[in-house]
Amino acid sequence: MLPIVLTFAVFGLLGVVLLFVNALLGPKRTNPAKETPFECGSPPLQKDIGPFPIKFSLIAFLFLLFDVEAAFFFPLALIVKEAKGPALAALVVFTAVIAAGFAYAWRKGAFEWE
Amino acid sequence: MSGNFVTTRFNAALGWARKFSLFHYPYVTACCGMEYMSTACAHFDIDRFGAGWTRFSPRQSDLILVVGTIPHKLAPVLKTVYDQMTEPKWVIAFGACTLSGGIYDNYAVVQGIDQIIPVDIYIPGCPPRPEMVLDGLLKLQQKIQTSEPDWRWKKKKS
Amino acid sequence: MTTRFEREAQPESLLLNMGPSHPAMHGTIRIMLELDGERVLSSEVEIGYLHRGFEKTCENKSYFNLLIYTDRLNYVSPLINNLGYVMAVEKLCGLVVPEKAQIIRVLMSELSRVSDHLTALAAMAMESGAFTVFLYKMKAREFLWDVIEQTTGARMTTSYIRIGGVRADLHADFAGACRRAVAETHKVLKDVHGLLDKNKIFLDRTRDIAVMSRADAVSYGWTGPCLRSTGIPYDIRKARPYLLYDRLDFEVPVGERGDNYDRYMVRMKEMDQSLRLIEQCVGLLEKMPAASTADGLAPAEAIRMARGQKPVRPVILSPNLEGADRTVQPEIYAAAPGYVLPPKDETYTTMEGLINHFGYFMKGHGIRPPRGEVYFSVEGGNGELGYYIVSDGTDRPYRLHLRAPCFHVVAALEQLIRGRLIADIIPTFGSMNMIGGELDR
Amino acid sequence: MEEEKILDALRQACPDAVLSAEVSLGDAVAVIRGESLTAVAEFLRGAPLSLTFLLDLTCVHHPGRVEAFEMVYHFLSLDTNARIRIKAGLPAENPEIASLTGMWKNASWLEREVFDMFGVRFAGHPDLRRLLLYEGFEGHPLRKDYPLRKRQPRIPLRKAETK
């Protein structure tokens, strides 16, 4: 059990340290230009950016859903050959649910950009 | 006295870390850009010195490579991009036009970008050969290593 | 002063800058976009961010000195700019250049044209995501620049083609070096054809996007690869042949739909034609009798001998040196004392040579073409590169205007990107091969 | 030669507009009156000559002459490969000429550049503003009376101190 705890501790600590070492070491010098948004060096044309069209958030949700599930498929792919009985059932149900969601989204036209 | 030894070792380590992980912002405008392409590509490969990572946003770059002529119309843009860069930041003036306006001594061109932003390393040449550019980069790395790196905690102390 | 663009923008659309300092904008163009989500409703292109006062500076420089400014116009194919300017002045003065100098000029401008198209397509491919193509093409360009450097002394800003001829003779193994470079470039072109021609991503981003109709292309004054991509086979090297383009055989590749893909494909095919031209020129050069160097000691040998005793035979100058010696010079320079530097050994041994040499560079004396005006154009990397020179008899041009081909091509950008997505701006702008130095002069 | 034919056709078509027309160094050159530019351009674009390509448009400043600004137009025909240079003189004070943006699309930028560099106004141009220089710039640099090194910086320049 110890090696697992050790690795989690070391890498967890490393992650946190690396996150904050920049804030600790970097010299803090600001100026008015640094506060304005970066627009390729020219003065921003619009002070307040208005609301974004909804289709951007739709694409973000779809990506979030299907990308995370794709990540789950990798371990499943390893055991698909020797999966029998309940493992196979879980695998099939998992895939079916995702496929149903995907088909529904496709038919509703969520993937069309216009 | 031991405090002194710790800080010098720490400064050396900090300088070493900063000099070999330079993210550069290629502020390319004119003919030197062609020579910058040769320097950044496979033949002369700027990546061998740790500075190969090209970032096109001042928010993620520590070194701005001002490459090519800077006319007066472009001066405020260069000033804005320089101001928006994260600290600590360095500037390399690449090519004769950035040093002194080069062959364009007329109404349109800024006679040297040190009239706009403070410059660390000047690379002469019109355009400078890729080897000269790499030499300039080495000089900047040496400057980063030897100069006194300023970090926030130290300022509060002194 | 609010621009037309800001006045006409609807309130609810997003205004965004694709500003001068942007990786795909080659650093010198600002596009103010009016967006509805990703779609571009209207835009305004603002240029002039690399205006370096070329035309005003040329009015204060002598004909000889302003050659260096012509290198830095279209800095991707500098030798073609030299050629355009020099031939305009020669047309004004009525100079005729010897045969060998003409061959070298065609050879050098074709090498420069291939490196122009290589850089243009490398930038276009990298900006649409194909970074490997960028590295391959930059490797190919290094081979070509090696050949150019061995001959002219500089990789890019060469000022090699002078008024009346060429600066230096070719070195001994030029043919071999040229053939090796051409072979390497052919290999890289084959790789890039394989990478991009049928690449689904590249096709989706460039096929039928930013289509330019022939009528619009003519109305915008498009010339060069962009005009030929719409199907009009207009090429100055065929329409008004100069140098020996009428004697060399090459085709003019033509696209059919005038979209980004055709602009890419026309430039790729044009590179093959230019490489063919280079091989023909190298063949012509080999048939010419070798440069008859006078018998004498080579410079290095003379120095070694000089340590021992006085040099016994005259020392010959290495052909690459300024002006070359009396025997090689007539092949690469026209015999026009007023307009051409005297050969080096004449300058150091005879009084007239010294006076000629001195007068050539003195303020107010140098090259003084007759009063009058001339317009001469060559086929540059982006199209018709024309020089309009008004001379008032002094040694400085009264007015020098450059007809910049990519000025007219970029003028159509606003129309091409209206109604398209933001991502389409990048390949469209890349396929135009906008060069800041030539656009803003 | 064919340059002669083009010039003769032009002389017949608009006799009062053409002041002089001759072949210089192999190029057909015609000097016309500033007011009749649109008519001449219409004729050149028309059927017989079909010079449908506006190759270039620029201006030359002769401070000494009565007609201080001389506009220079180059036209090209893609099918007959013929070229012609049209020159039109303009007075020194507020030079003004008809704009060709109605007939050619690239005239818009070309004319904006000539306005920027010389101060020649173009009647009928939809959006006549500076093209290459910036708003705060006073004067027109390509005029002969504008000094070469008179710079007008857009932001205050700092004293360059060695860092």
Any idea what the CATH number is for the domain that residue A59 is in? 1.20.58
Q: What is the DSSP letter of C294?
A: P
Burial class (CB in 10 A: 0-12, 13-18, 19+), A37: exposed
Chain D nearest C-alpha distance from C273 (Å):
22
Secondary structure E strands in chain B = 24-28, 63-67, 90-94, 121-123
% of chain C exceeding 90 in pLDDT:
65
Chains contacting D with at least 3 CB pairs below 8 Å? B, C
Contact C117, C267 (CB under 8 A): yes
Q: CA-to-CA distance for B32 and B97, rounded, in angstroms?
A: 9
Burial class (CB in 10 A: 0-12, 13-18, 19+), C88: buried
The more confidently predicted of residues C124 and C345 is C124
Tell me whether B103 touches chain A (CB under 8 Å).
no
Nearest to C259 by CA among C383, C416, C403: C416
Q: CA-to-CA distance for C333 and C165, rounded, in angstroms?
A: 4
Q: CA-to-CA distance for C301 and C312, rounded, in angstroms?
A: 12
Contacts of B103 in chain C (CB under 8 A): 68-69, 72
Domain containing residue B35: CATH number: 3.40.50.12280
Q: Three-state SS for C39?
A: strand
The mean pLDDT of C170-191, rounded to a whole number, is 92
Q: What is the pLDDT of residues D118-156, one digit of tens each?
A: 999 999 999 899 999 998 899 999 999 999 999 999 988
Residue of C nearest to B79 (CA): C21
Lowest mean pLDDT among C228-242, C280-294, C414-428, D20-34: C280-294
Chain D nearest C-alpha distance from C388 (Å):
9
Tell whether B135 is covered by a domain.
Answer: yes
3-state helix, strand, coil in chain D (%, to 5): 20, 25, 50
CB atoms within 10 A of CB A84: 7
Tell how many helices (H) and how many strands (E) occur in chain B: 6, 4
Q: ∠A98-A99-A104 over CA atoms, to 5°?
A: 100
Output the pLDDT for position B157: 47
Q: How many domains does chain B have?
A: 1
Chain D nearest C-alpha distance from B71 (Å):
9
Output the pLDDT for position C407: 94
Which domains does chain C show, CATH number per domain?
4-46 (no CATH), 54-290+368-440 (1.10.645.10)
Token duo for residue C103: 């061959």
Contact C9, A32 (CB under 8 A): no
Output the pLDDT for position C316: 67
Q: CA-to-CA distance for C278 and C282, rounded, in angstroms?
A: 6
Burial class (CB in 10 A: 0-12, 13-18, 19+), D144: middle
Instruction: Name the region of C288 (left: φ>0; alpha: ψ -120 to 50; beta: rest).
Output: beta
Which residue has tokens 């008859």? C292
Output the pLDDT for position D121: 93
Chain B nearest C-alpha distance from C37 (Å):
22
Residue C321 confidence (pLDDT) above 80: no
Nearest CB neighbour to D60, from listed C51, C219, C390: C390
Tell me whether B35 touches chain C (CB under 8 Å).
yes
The more confidently predicted of residues B60 and C1 is B60
- The confidence band for B158, taking pLDDT boundaries of 50, 70 and 90, is very low
Contacts of A29 in chain B (CB under 8 A): 87
Q: CA-to-CA distance for D143 and D68, rounded, in angstroms?
A: 10
State how far Cα B7 lies from the chain centre: 26
State how far Cα B17 lies from the chain centre: 16
Q: ∠D108-D114-D120 over CA atoms, to 5°?
A: 105
Q: ∠C384-C259-C39 over CA atoms, to 5°?
A: 120
Instruction: Name the region of C52 (left: φ>0; alpha: ψ -120 to 50; beta: rest).
Output: alpha
Burial class (CB in 10 A: 0-12, 13-18, 19+), C109: buried
Q: What is the DSSP letter of D149?
A: T
Chain A nearest C-alpha distance from B65 (Å):
15
Polymer length in residues for chain D: 163
Task: Flag if C384 and D55 touch (Cβ within 8 Å).
Answer: yes
Residue of D nearest to B73 (CA): D134
CB atoms within 10 A of CB A36: 13
Q: What is the pLDDT of residues B128-143, one digit of tens each?
A: 999 999 999 999 999 9
Q: Three-state SS for C136?
A: helix
Residue of B nearest to C115 (CA): B34
Nearest to C206 by CA among C426, C412, C381: C426
- Residue D133: how many CA atoms within 13 Å on its side-chain side? 24
Output the pLDDT for position C429: 93
Nearest to D58 by CA among D85, D77, D30: D85
Task: Flag if B77 and A27 touch (Cβ within 8 Å).
Answer: no
Tell me whether A36 touches chain C (CB under 8 Å).
no
Output the pLDDT for position C352: 86
Tell whether B3 is covered by a domain.
Answer: no
Which residue has tokens 């038919």? A107
Q: What is the DSSP letter of D58?
A: E
Contacts of A41 in chain B (CB under 8 A): 76-78, 80-81
Contact B126, B101 (CB under 8 A): no
The more confidently predicted of residues A42 and B79 is B79
Tell whether A114 is covered by a domain.
Answer: no
pTM confidence score: 0.90
Tell whether A74 is covered by a domain.
Answer: yes
Is the bond preceding residue B88 a cis peptide, omega within 30 degrees?
yes
Contacts of B76 in chain D (CB under 8 A): 154-155
The more confidently predicted of residues C370 and B156 is C370
Q: ∠B97-C120-B85 over CA atoms, to 5°?
A: 50
Sheet containing strand C397-403, strands side by side:
C372-379, C384-391, C397-403
Output the pLDDT for position C373: 93
Nearest to C56 by CA among D138, D119, D115, D141: D141
Residue C293 confidence (pLDDT) above 60: no
Task: Flag if C37 and A52 touch (Cβ within 8 Å).
Answer: yes
Output the pLDDT for position D77: 92
Residue C431 confidence (pLDDT) above 50: yes
The more confidently predicted of residues D1 and C241 is C241
The mean pLDDT of B7-26, rounded to a whole number, is 88
Output the pLDDT for position D116: 94
Q: Three-state SS for D123?
A: strand
DSSP lists the bridge partners of residue C16 as: C33
Q: What is the pLDDT of residues C65-92, one digit of tens each?
A: 999 999 999 999 999 999 999 999 999 9
Residue C322 confidence (pLDDT) above 60: no
Nearest CB neighbour to A31, from listed B14, B83, B151: B83
Token duo for residue D115: 């306005």
Q: How many domains does chain A have?
A: 1
Token duo for residue C336: 């026009």
Contacts of C407 in chain D (CB under 8 A): 106, 109-110
CB atoms within 10 A of CB B3: 8
* CATH top-level class of D2-123: alpha beta
Question: Which residues 40-59 of A have a C-beta within 8 angstroms of C?
Answer: 40-42, 44-46, 49-50, 52-53, 55-56
CB atoms within 10 A of CB C145: 22
Chain B nearest C-alpha distance from D60 (Å):
19
What is the domain extent for residue A49? 2-108
Q: Which of C1, C15, C25, C421 to mutate to test the interface with A (most CBs of A within 10 A)?
A: C15
Output the pLDDT for position C300: 76
Contact C139, B43 (CB under 8 A): yes
Q: What is the pLDDT of residues D53-90, one digit of tens each?
A: 999 999 999 998 999 999 999 999 988 889 999 999 99
Q: Which of A36, A40, A49 to mutate to test the interface with C (most CBs of C within 10 A)?
A: A40
Q: Which of C17, C18, C21 to mutate to test the interface with B (most CBs of B within 10 A)?
A: C21
Chain D nearest C-alpha distance from B108 (Å):
7
DSSP of A38-74 = -STTSPPS-SS--PPPTHHHHHHHHHHHHHHHHHHHH
Residue B1 confidence (pLDDT) above 50: no
A/D Cβ contact: 3+ pairs below 8 Å:
no
Chain A and chain C share a number of CB contacts under 8 A equal to 36
Tell me whether D121 touches chain C (CB under 8 Å).
no
Which residue has tokens 């974004």? A52
Alpha-carbon dihedral of residues C346, C349, C353, C354, nearest 10 degrees? 130
Chains contacting C with at least 3 CB pairs below 8 Å? A, B, D
State how beta strands B121-123 and C161-162 pair: unpaired
Output the pLDDT for position C290: 67
The mean pLDDT of C34-44, rounded to a whole number, is 89
Task: Flag if D105 and C411 touch (Cβ within 8 Å).
Answer: yes
Tell whether A113 is covered by a domain.
Answer: no
Tell whether B153 is covered by a domain.
Answer: no
Burial class (CB in 10 A: 0-12, 13-18, 19+), B31: buried
Q: What is the pLDDT of residues A3-35, one digit of tens each?
A: 999 999 999 999 999 888 877 777 888 888 888
Nearest CB neighbour to C157, from listed B43, B105, B127: B127
Residue A67 confidence (pLDDT) above 80: yes
Contacts of D60 in chain C (CB under 8 A): 390, 398-399
Q: CA-to-CA distance for D71 and D123, rounded, in angstroms?
A: 14
Residue C1 confidence (pLDDT) above 50: no
Nearest CB neighbour to B118, from listed D146, D157, D163: D163
